[in-house]
Amino acid sequence: MSTTGIILVILSAFTHASWNVVSKRDGADPTSYFIRALFWCALLYLPLFIYIQTKITYTSTYSVCLTLSALGSGFYFLSLGKAYEKAPVSIVYPIARTFPILVVTWAGLFLNEKPEISGLIGIIIIVAGCFVLPLPSLKPGSTGISLKLYLNSGTMWALLSALFTSAYSMADKVAAKSYAGLPTSSAIYMSINYVYIQNAVSLIFLYSIQKLQKKEIAHTPLKYAIPSGLVFLVSYFLVMLAMRIDSVAYVVSLRQISIVIAAIVSMVWLEKKFSLPRFIGSATVFAGACIISFWG
């Protein structure tokens, strides 16, 4: 990967991990939290969005990809919220981020992006680390390595969110390639616009689902909702910029360094206990990310 791409993705990973951990704090309703944060994202960035409309052009490729991505993002937030309702962040988040291997498949089939052997090894190591992270211990049986840990509604929703993420990531890569030749300033405008609409549609989607199910949208303190709304756009905007210059498989794989951040913060802040599997899983993900960064 390029140095610029690595920096952009690592910054994105920090912001992405932060709002995922906040969504699972004590007493929080994850889906309501997503709705509140997306609302503030739409509101706070609205003046910038309006200004950008005078600076960009909606090509057919860009518009189609944006539509598909926005819908995929909506389903992603819905699935992730359901997963967080069923299981801890330290289990859901790693499994939800196992989509790099799916992206490699889609990228090879549709974009003719085939990673180097070293890059593929790094991706496989990351996915392996994702499945080690949720283990309560390394001993076989009900208290350690067991299929019951994965065969439940929480992990099923997490895997579904991974599927939706892999799908909309492909659309995002195609969109990023469509304006890769533009000057940097124009590319920035196009990326911000793309992520803003993606989040706005996700907000409408989640709000509509919540109302159809006649569920109350729980209150989220402004000290959580506003900062999260601000980083929602920044987090994926950085990824869109990275996709202009690097392989989508490498970008989404390196971004899984956020798993390490989320696992550590979750142990310290939410679970308040050390876990050997979390440590080993985090180290494995980190090792895979390093292979992609330096040899991929």
**80 touches 242 (CB < 8 A):** no
**Alpha-carbon span 216 to 17, nearest angstrom:** 26
- pLDDT value at residue 150: 64
**Predicted TM-score (pTM) of this structure:** 0.75
**Alpha-carbon span 204 to 208, nearest angstrom:** 6
- pLDDT value at residue 147: 62
- pLDDT value at residue 280: 83
Q: Is 282 exposed, middle or buried (0-12, 13-18, 19+ CB in 10 A)?
A: buried
Domain boundaries, the chain: 3-295
Please state, in angstroms and as integers, the Cα–Cα distance from residue 294 to each residue in 48, 117, 119, 134, 244, following that order.
36, 13, 9, 27, 19
Mean pLDDT in each 10-residue stretch from start to end of the chain (296 residues)? 82 78 66 88 95 92 92 86 75 67 60 69 78 71 59 77 81 86 88 93 90 82 85 86 77 73 69 72 78 66
The Cβ of residue 201 has, within 10 Å, a number of other Cβ atoms equal to 20
